[in-house]
Every structure is written in structure tokens, then in C-alpha cells.
Amino acid sequence: MPSGLTTGPSLGRGSPAMREMEPKDQQLMVALRIRPLSDTELEEGATVIAHKVGDQMVVLMDPGEDPEDTLRTHRSREKTFIFDTVFDQHASQEDVYRATTQHLVEGVVSGYNATVFAYGPSGAGKTYTMLGMDAEPGIYLQTLADLFRAIEEIRDSADCSVSMSYLEIYNEVIRDLLNPSSGFLDLREDSRGSIQIAGIMEVSTSNAQEIMQLLTKGNRQRTQEPTATNKTSSRSHAVLQVTVRQRSRGPDLVEEVRVGKLFMVDLAGSERASQTQNRGKRMKEGAHINRSLLALGNCINALSEKGGSRAQYVNFRDSKLTRLLKDALGGNSRTVMIAHISPASTYFEESRTTLLYAYRAKNIKTRVKRNLLNVSYRIAQYTDVISDLRREIEHLKSKIEKQEGEKRVMIPPSDGEEDSRLQMNKIRAQLIGAFKEQLEMRRSLVELENTNIELHVDTSRHLLTIADWEREKTHQHAHRERTSERDEEPAEADADGDEGESVEPHEVALAREEVNMLLAEQRKTAALKAGLEQRLANAKKKASQLEKLLPTQVISEDQREVLRLLCRAHELEVENTELQANNLCRRNLMCQKDFVIQRYHQHRLLCEQLIQDQWQLIQGGGIAVPESLARRRCLYSRELGAGSLNRLLLLHAVMSSSLRDGSVLNTSPPPPEEASRDQLDDRKDLPWGAQFELPPMLLETDSGYRSSQGTPSKTLGKQDSLLPPPSLRILLTPPSHEQLSSLSVKNLVSKLCSPTGRDLGASQVAAEAGGLALSAQALKEMAVSTKSIALIAATRRSKAQDREGGGGRSSIRLLEEVAPDSRAPKASVTPDPSPADRRWLLASPGRDCSTERKARRKRSPSLTWSVQTAAEHGAESQPSPAVLQLTKSSGKSFFPPVPAASKIKPSLSSHTDEKMLQMPEVSFTFPSATWQSSPGPSRAPLLPRDIRGSTDSGGRHHSPLPPSTPRKPRGSGKRPRRPQ
Ligand SMILES: Nc1ncnc2c1ncn2[C@@H]1O[C@H](COP(=O)(O)OP(=O)(O)OP(=O)(O)O)[C@@H](O)[C@H]1O
């Protein structure tokens, strides 16, 4: 049955949550196999140059080396390599299997992913190791035999099912080896970052022999051609995936499903065109093979640097092979690489390169976690109800048949009765058929809709990459122009550089290609969907006609009951499908929304850049600026500084990551420890009494808090860096209708992001902080009054500035902690709550910085707010002692300088996983004229501690984006490298 092959942990249809155990770092295991010298090599007079020494060492001699040449000894190319295990020509197939792969089997059965791949030059013995011969079966068969044995052992305690798929990547296209007629298949990344092969045949199997037959059949479909180096050279990469699903019904009616995936990959051989003497088609194949292997090599290089840290940028997107092996190399998989070489002197170069790559791969680390899928009670319940109903229907049906049989024996039915019964049965069968048909169509529609959204998400991701590059290019161009103007260098001097820098990175070109492909795919999906919808509408019409017809045909109460139950079962199945569809849709839409926001963010940056450039032109040209424009400009600068949009984006990131996790709707009570902590904090500052936890906010270092005064045209700092916080839990009690009206992100944002807090009114803020419930009306008003917070705040600041002679500035401070002894957050009033120095501390007082407290904070990231209006201190006035103390105790300040000319630099995340999209690093510089008009400390975006980007020596902030996917954050979304 065709289905989707996934390489990452992905959700089954309708499964609401994939629970993953604590991930563990695991080193990639690298084994080396040296095959015996072949007859051809012997005929050629080749000598053995690869020698196994001990169990783990291999020495590769340089055949070109003259042992007599003592002068060259220090430049010897003889090399020694150490691997996890080394096999020579004496090793049997079983030896290789036992030492490399056997240990993975148990893990796969209990829900871990594993990958074994054979790597090496053409003719070095990869296929021999993986597939083997009839008499000497390779890793495929031995693994599967053990897998089935292991499953057999646990059959009593769990239901296991095994399915497999087998594909090849030939010339960068994917073919299903079990169903070659399906044509070229698409490789897609879903919103969770899992790679999927759309439409691949997944076959359920019950024993290893059956799989072996399928494999042999599939292998006949594999592209194999004789080459100069190998008579049966595999010209494609073959991937056998075996999925083991283990179901066990746990307590609380939660069904636990463990999904373990095992990939066994026989790569095509790397080769040198000169060596293989390939021409034409063979040469093209070779180029493709080498391209994908080169991409694999690049990934291995990138992953092996820094000990396989995920911080390193790894471009998996360069080839289908690396995209498919993404998890095996850098993600969730226990991975074994079996490198192959020939011992022959004629293979020296190939062997040397293979050994180098394999040796490097030893440094790769993967993160292994068990894939646990909790099928929640709700869906399980539906399934139970449906099967109960089905049982009841069967029971009633048999009862009717029995009764009717008896009746027939006693009183032969009249012709009329018999006819109507037959007619009724016919209609009933038609109705059931129509229901089934409808259900199938609904399911297909759900799948199509999901595919459609995924395509949109993919497209958005690529468009972001392209837009990033376009902006980067423009920025570089502007920068060069400025530099050359300043240095008064002749324009021609940069001509070469211009050319060099505008070369589009491969990733961007790839993104363009993919966008076209995805758009075509979207059109195809839309057409399919429209057709299906039409068919569904017809089926519905047909069914409703039948439904109308039925009551007239019903002749007994029992039959009526059967029909009623039939309809009920159908309704429930439909509801079930819809529930699953909604779940899927919600998750995907969240992901898509992220992209839309990122796109707007990019656009905003572009506008800012444009405004800045125009302003510089005005300034440079000495054009008189009307007062209204100057005022607007001033307001605009302060708006940027206040960073209200950034906070909004941050909050969005927080909320969407939380929604994606499904934590927002977590209605289960918190664990005891957390419950008491929640009680302690008891921040009922959300409309419906939710307990809202944000991770601790980061206080920027003082060095980042730079005054711009007297610094003309100064680079004032970085911002616009957002990352999803590590965790956010919102435990909701179901909101009432009224409460729902206030349950909007806007409301939350309004409340949380109000720069001064005064928009809410001091008493309101204090009341909320004190955990007092607010009426729906009050919330509504609040939402309205805070509609345009940034504008209101800026206007007020402007007024305050006027009042106090300019220099007004506002700031928001996030206090990291609440006091351990506080039961509820209180509005804390400063020692001098005069109107000119109002300050609302929405935090519990008495915070301490003890280690215990910090540890608790780590467990329970929390957020409290302190709002300070510095404008009201006057620009030069000292902050009150309370504020000073808070600032000093943290030793950090929130606000970096106000930005101006924005600049994007592809930032390679240093602490997010591959799947996470990255936010462009943005830096702004305001011209001195603008900046001097609003003196005072500048402001930084508020970044949670764990999500801040790094700050480089130049004070630039590197920070990744909010995730696009939960998934992800999914690999993709990589931003182009800045051309060197
Ligand atoms: N360990 C071994 N013992 C005996 N024969 C071997 C061994 N390894 C490989 N051979 C033989 O060497 C030849 C080439 O092996 P194989 O086809 O497996 O290479 P390959 O690496 O898969 O090549 P390609 O990449 O071109 O497909 C085959 O005839 C195979 O039987």
C-alpha cells in the first residue's frame, strides 16, 4: 500500500503527540572492510598495500614510494588509521554483521532509529557486504532475521508490525524499487523536519525470507551496469528502510506506540572519471554519483568539525542522498558506517580518500532518542466506540437474519414482502458502500490538504532563503558603495569584487529551483483536491438520496436499529477524521504563520533600510526637512528603539512553539513539584486564570548598553534577534465564552508588551499582578486601549520629553525572578512613587540570587515584569535606588543602542538544532543627527536567557530565528552563506 516514508520521527496519522525520551549523544561507529584482491587486480600485477594491524588499525602503504629513497621518508604518504573495527579478506559476512550491526536490532525494536551504510569506491565490496550472495547473505538478511527473532520474543506483551520500503537514488531522482512503475518520487520535508518520500510503496511483511524475496526482486530493478572497475557496478544509492511499530496499551487508556526505523544503505561507488574510462551516459551517472557523494563528504566534514556539534552549519540540502541521510548523520539515529576499500596498489588514491573520509566521520555525533507515540485517549476512545458499534451491528444483523430465517421456515414470505426485503438489503449495501467511499475520500482530502500545507511551508522556507540573499546582496552593494565613497577609491577597483560577491550561493539557486518545483506540485495538488471535493459532493448527494429512500423500505424495528447504528458509526468515523484533520491543520498552520511573520519581518527590515538610505540622502544633500517630517522621523527612531515589534515577534514565537508542542492545550494537572511551584508563583495574570510561564528573560551586558551621545554615526547595536524560548507552559482551564473573547494573542501581547504598562492603568496592572480576576469587559477595554501600544507609548514619551525638555526615553525591565517567599505577585511600588517616578513592578519583591533559586528558575522559567519610565526620571536623572540595585545585581542592561541602517548577515546558529530556522542578524546604525535628537540609553530587544544569540567581539548579535517547525525546527530554512 502506498504511503509516506519518513526518515525522522514523524507522527502517524491522527496521532497527537510524539513523545521522545531524553536524547543521548552517540558517536558514529566506523568500521572498515578490506576485500580480497580480485582476479583482475592479480592479473594486472597489483600488490597488496592495505594491511590490517590488530583489530582496529589499518596501514595503507604508498605504492609510488621508493623504500630506498631515504630523503623522502619524512614525506611518506604511508598512513595509519584507527577505526572502531577493521576487517580484512578473512572476515566472514557473519563477522561483519555481528561486529557492526547486530547491536542495533534491539534498539530498533524498542523505538530507536538506526542506520547502516556502506561507503567506498566502486568495486570495493559494498553490495557484497550489504546484500551478499545466496550462500553468504549480507547485512540486510542477517539483520532482518534477528529483527524478526526479537519481535517474536516480545509478541506476547506487544503488537508488532514490520513494514519495509526499498528505493534508489539514481541521477538525483528517486525510484521505488518495489514499485518501479510509480515513476520518480518526491522527497519532502514535513513541518516537523521529517524527510518523507511521497507515494512510496511500504510493504508489510511477516518474515525475513519474504523481505529477502522482495529485496531480490527490487534489486533486479536497481540500476546496475558494468564499468571498467566493476562488472556489476551499482550506479545508484539503494536505501532499504524497515519500520518496526510496537503497540502496547498502557494505563489511562493511553496507547503507546514505539516506532523504530532501520535504514540500510548501499551507496553507489565513488569513482574517478579517468579511472573508470566512462563515457556518455556512464559519465553523467558518475558525475551525479560523485556530486551526491561530495555532498555527503561535505556533510561529514562539517559534522566532524567541532566534534559533530550541531552548532556547525551543515548543508544537507545539496543532494537527495544527504537530505535522506540527514537524521542518520546529524540527527536521531544510531549510525554505523562501513567503509570499504580494495587492498590493491592500483586503488591507492581511492583507498586513501575513503580512509580519510571514514576517519573524519568518526568524530560525528548523533542524538539518539526513542520515538514514542502516545495515541491519546480521545482518539483511542473513538476507535473503541466505533468497534463496539460495529460489533453491535454484526450482532443485530445476525439476529435479524436468524429471525427472518425462522420466519421464512414458519410462514413462507409473500412475494411483496420478499421483494421489499431484498430491496431494503440492496439499499443498505449501497448506503454502506457510499459511507465507505465518502470516508476514504475524506481521508484522502485530509492527506491532500496536509501535503498542500507542507508544500506551502516548504515554498515559504525557500522564499525566505531567496529574500534573505536578495537583501544581503543589496546590503553588500550599499556597503561597498559607502566604503568606496569614503576611501575615494576608483569605482573600477571594486568591479572584480562586485562580480565575485554577487555570485549566487548554490543554496539560493537550489531554493529557486525548488520553489518552481513546489509551485508546480501545489498546482497539481490543488487540481487533485478540487476533483476529489467534487467527487465527495456527489457521493454525499447519493448517500442522502439513499438515506431518504431507506425509511420507506424498513420493515422491522431491528432493521431500523441497525440503520441507526450504521449511521452513527459513520458519523463518528467522520468526526474522527475531522478531528485528525483539524489537528494536522492546526499544527501546519502554526508553522506557516511563522513563515508569514518572518516574511513580514524581512519586509520591515527592508523598509527600515530604505527609510534609512533616504534619510541619509536628505541629510547628505542638505535638503531642508519640514518640521512634521522631522517629528515623524524622531518618533520612528524611538519606535525602533522601543523594540515593541520585536517583543511582539518574541511573544508570537513563544506562543507558536508552545502551541506546536501542544502544551497550550495541556489540560492535565501539573506534576506535584510543578504544581506547588505554580501555586507559589500563582501568576494569574491571564484573563482566564491561566498559569503562564515564560522563560527567564536575558539581561544584556552593560557593554551592550552603549550611549550614543557625542558619537557621530555610531553603530549602535543589534536587535531583531529572536529565538523560541526553550519552554513555555500554559495550563489552561477551559475558558468561558467571554473569556475566549479575550483569548487572543493581541491581548496577550498588549498586556505583556506594553512598553510602559501605563496603558493598562496602574491599578489594572497591579490588580492583575496580584492575581485578581478581570472582567471580560475590562479585558476588552484593555485590548482596545492597547491596540497601538507602540504609538501611544511613543506619543506619551514625546509629551514627557516636551515637558521635561527632551531626552525622554522609556524602558521595560524584565526581572528574572520572583521572591521565593511570595505567594502571589504583587504590584511593587518604588520608594518614591511620585508621578514623575512611577514604576510598576509586576514582580514579587525580595528576589534573591541564591544558587538554589537559580536552579529552581532553570526548572521553571518564569517571567516577571518591571516597568520603568525613564523619561519620567528625566534623561539625566539617576534611577531610583531600587532600580539601580536591580540593574546592578543582574549586572546587565536590556537595551542596546537604537538601530538605523539594517544589515543582514547569515547567522549560523550556534546552539539550535539543524531544523531551526535562523533569523537574520540585524544591525542598525542611525546617523548622528537622528540619534542626537533622542539622547539617552538605547534599548535592546528582550531576549530570553536561553534563546539569546551570541555576541561577537564586535558587539554584534548572532541569533537564530523562531522555529518554523517544531519540528526543527527542520534543517531546512538554512540561510545562504555569505559569499566570501
Ligand atoms: N569480502 C569479499 N569477499 C569476496 N568477494 C568480494 C568481497 N567484497 C567484494 N567482493 C567481490 O568484488 C566484486 C565487487 O564487489 P561489489 O559489487 O560488492 O562492489 P561495490 O562496492 O558494490 O561496487 P559498486 O559501487 O560499483 O557497485 C564482486 O564480484 C564481489 O563479489
pLDDT digit string, tens, across residues 514-567: 888 888 888 888 888 888 888 888 887 877 777 676 666 666 676 777 777 777
At residue 193, the 3 state secondary structure works out as coil
Q: Which domain holds residue 576?
A: 377-586
Asked if residue 476 belongs to a domain, the reply is yes
Task: Single out the residue in 375, 406, 437 at which a domain terminates.
Answer: 375
Where is 244: in which H helix or E strand? Answer: strand 237-249
Per residue in 16-50, pLDDT (tens digit) is 333 444 556 778 899 999 999 999 899 989 999 99
pLDDT tens digits, 467-478: 878 877 887 777
Same domain, 767 and 697: yes
C-alpha cell at 362: 568518526
For the segment 222-237, the average pLDDT, to the nearest whole number, is 70
* Residue 617 falls inside a structural domain: no
Using CA atoms of 218, 220, 225, 230 in order, give the dihedral in degrees to the nearest 10.
90
* 315 assigned to some structural domain: yes
Q: Residue 880 is placed in which grid cell?
A: 531610583
CA distance 974 to 142: 39
Ligand 1 centroid to 125 CA: how many Å?
3
Residue keyed to cell 531546512? 972
User: By three-state DSSP, how is residue 586 classified?
Assistant: helix
Q: Identify whether residues 196 and 341 lie together within a single domain.
A: yes
| pLDDT in the model for residue 337 | 93
Q: Residue 653 has what pLDDT? A: 62
Q: Whose CA is nearest to atom 10 of ligand 1?
A: 125
The whole-number pLDDT of residue 215 equals 83
The answer to whether the CB of 574 falls within 8 A of the CB of 587 is no
Do 786 and 726 share a structural domain?
yes
Task: Look at residue 709 in the predicted model and tell me its pLDDT.
Answer: 33
Report pLDDT for 316.
77
As to burial, measured by CB atoms within 10 angstroms (0-12 exposed, 13-18 middle, 19+ buried), residue 200 is buried
256 in the same domain as 132: yes
Q: Report d(CA 850, CA 254) in Å as an integer.
A: 40
User: What is the predicted pLDDT for the residue at 52?
Assistant: 94
Cβ contacts of residue 75 below 8 Å, gap of 6+?
none
Q: What's the pLDDT score for residue 87?
A: 96
Ligand 1 centroid – CA 898 distance (Å)? 65
Q: Whose CA is nearest to atom 8 of ligand 1?
A: 125
Asked if the model's pLDDT at residue 128 lies above 90, the reply is yes
List binding-site positions: 120-127
The domain total for the chain is: 3
- Which of 122, 127, 282 has most ligand 1 atoms within 8 Å of CB, for mutation? 127
Task: Judge whether residue 666 has pLDDT over 50.
Answer: no
What per-residue confidence (pLDDT) applies to 697? 28
Residue 835 DSSP class:
G
pLDDT band at 879 (very low <50, low <70, confident <90, very high): very low
Say if residue 743 is in the same domain as residue 685: yes
Residues 6+ apart with CB under 8 A from 159: 246, 247, 248
The predicted-structure confidence for 862-873, as pLDDT tens digits, reads as follows 222 223 333 333
C-alpha to C-alpha distance for 956 and 936, rounded to whole angstroms: 20
Nearest atom in ligand 1 to 124's CA? 21
Name the residue at shortest CA distance from atom 12 of ligand 1.
Answer: 125
Predicted confidence band of residue 287 (pLDDT cuts 50, 70, 90): low
Identity (one letter) of the amino acid at 353? T
Domain edge (last residue) among 326, 341, 375: 375
Are residue 410 and residue 474 in the same domain, yes or no? yes
In angstroms, what is the span from residue 30 Cα to ligand 1's centroid?
19
How far, in Å, CA of 159 to CA of 959, rounded? 45
Listed residue (15, 1, 90) closest to 51, CA to CA: 90
Percent over 70 (pLDDT), the chain: 47
Mean pLDDT over all residues of the chain? 62
Give the number of the atom of ligand 1 that is nearest the alpha carbon of residue 33: 1
Instruction: Report the pLDDT value the prediction gives residue 86, as an integer from 0 to 100.
Output: 96
* pLDDT confidence of residue 142: 92
Cβ atoms < 10 Å from Cβ of 403: 12
Q: How far is the CA of 340 from the centre of ligand 1 (A)?
A: 9
Give residues (CB < 6 A) around ligand 1.
Answer: 35-36, 38, 120, 122-128, 230, 232-234, 268-269, 340
What's the CA-to-centroid distance between 6 and ligand 1, angstroms?
30
Choose one of 556, 586, 616: the last residue of a domain. Answer: 586
Report pLDDT for 71: 55
Q: Is 60 helix (H, G, I), strand (E, B) or coil?
A: strand
DSSP class of 374 = E
Q: Is the pTM of this model over 0.80?
A: no
Does residue 607 form part of some domain?
Answer: no
Could you report the per-residue pLDDT of 935-958, keeping only the tens digit for each?
Answer: 333 333 333 333 333 333 333 333
Q: Do both 354 and 385 map to the same domain?
A: no
Task: Give the per-residue pLDDT at 672.
Answer: 42
Burial class (CB in 10 A: 0-12, 13-18, 19+), 422: exposed
Whether residues 744 and 870 share a domain: the answer is yes
CB 343 within 8 A of CB 50: yes
Query: Residue 124: pLDDT above 90?
Result: yes
- Between 477 and 744, where is the model more confident? 477
Q: Do β-strands 195-201 and 233-234 pair in parallel, antiparallel, or remain unpaired?
A: unpaired
Q: Is there a domain that residue 289 lies in?
A: yes
- Rg of the chain over Cα atoms, rounded to whole angstroms, equals 33
pLDDT of the residue at 97: 96
pLDDT at 125: 93
Give residue 829's pLDDT. Answer: 34
The residue-averaged pLDDT of 78-86 equals 90
As beta bridge partners, residue 174 has: 169, 185
CATH code for the domain of 212 = 3.40.850.10
Range with top average pLDDT, 737-751, 796-810, 917-931: 796-810
Binning pLDDT at 50, 70 and 90, where does residue 859 land?
very low
Place of cell 504563520: 593
593 inside domain? no
Residues 6+ apart with CB under 8 A from 542: 434
Helix (H) / strand (E) element for 173: namely strand 173-176
Q: Using pLDDT thresholds of 50, 70 and 90, give the confidence band for residue 255.
A: low
Ligand 1 center–CA 338 separation, angstroms = 13
pLDDT of residue 47: 92
**pLDDT at residue 911, as a whole number:** 34
* pLDDT grade for 102, boundaries at 50, 70 and 90: very high
Write the pLDDT tens digit of every residue in 346-362: 989 889 989 998 988 88
In a domain, 979, yes or no: no
Name residue, grid cell 566534514. 301
Given this model, what pLDDT does residue 700 score? 30
Q: Does residue 631 carry a pLDDT above 70?
A: yes
ipTM score here?
Answer: 0.98
Residue 230 CA: which ligand 1 atom is closest?
A: 26
Greatest mean pLDDT among 214-228, 503-517, 687-701, 932-946 lies in: 503-517
Counted residue by residue, the chain has a size of 980
530 φ, ψ to 5°? -60, -45
928 pLDDT band, cuts 50/70/90, is: very low
| Same domain as 425, residue 330 | no
Residue 662, all three cell numbers: 501542544
pLDDT at 151 over 60: yes
CA-nearest residue for atom 11, ligand 1, is 125
Mean per-residue pLDDT, 257-269: 88
Q: What is the pLDDT of residues 790-847, one digit of tens each?
A: 444 445 555 554 444 433 333 323 223 333 333 333 333 333 333 333 333 333 333 3
- Let me know whether 389 and 304 are in one domain: no
Per-residue pLDDT averaged across 622-637, rounded?
A: 85
Residue 11 counted as domain residue: no
* Numbered residues of the known binding site for ATP: 120-127
Phi and psi (nearest 5°) for 813? -120, 135
User: pLDDT > 90: what percent of the chain?
Assistant: 10
680 sits in which H/E element: helix 672-681
**pLDDT reported for residue 23:** 59
- Separation of 63 CA from ligand 1 center, angstroms? 22
Q: Is 45 left (phi over 0), alpha (psi -120 to 50) or beta?
A: left
The mean-pLDDT minimum among 516-525, 604-613, 754-763, 905-914 falls in 905-914
- Mean pLDDT to the nearest integer, 499-520: 77
53 CA → ligand 1 middle, Å: 22
pLDDT band with cut points at 50, 70 and 90 for residue 570? confident
Q: Report which ligand 1 atom has the smallest distance to the Cα of 234.
A: 27
pLDDT at 264: 94
Which residue of 230, 270, 272, 340 sits with most ligand 1 atoms within 8 Å of its CB, as the best mutation to test the pocket?
Answer: 230
Q: Same structural domain for residues 240 and 217? A: yes
Identify whether residues 788 and 647 lie together within a single domain: yes
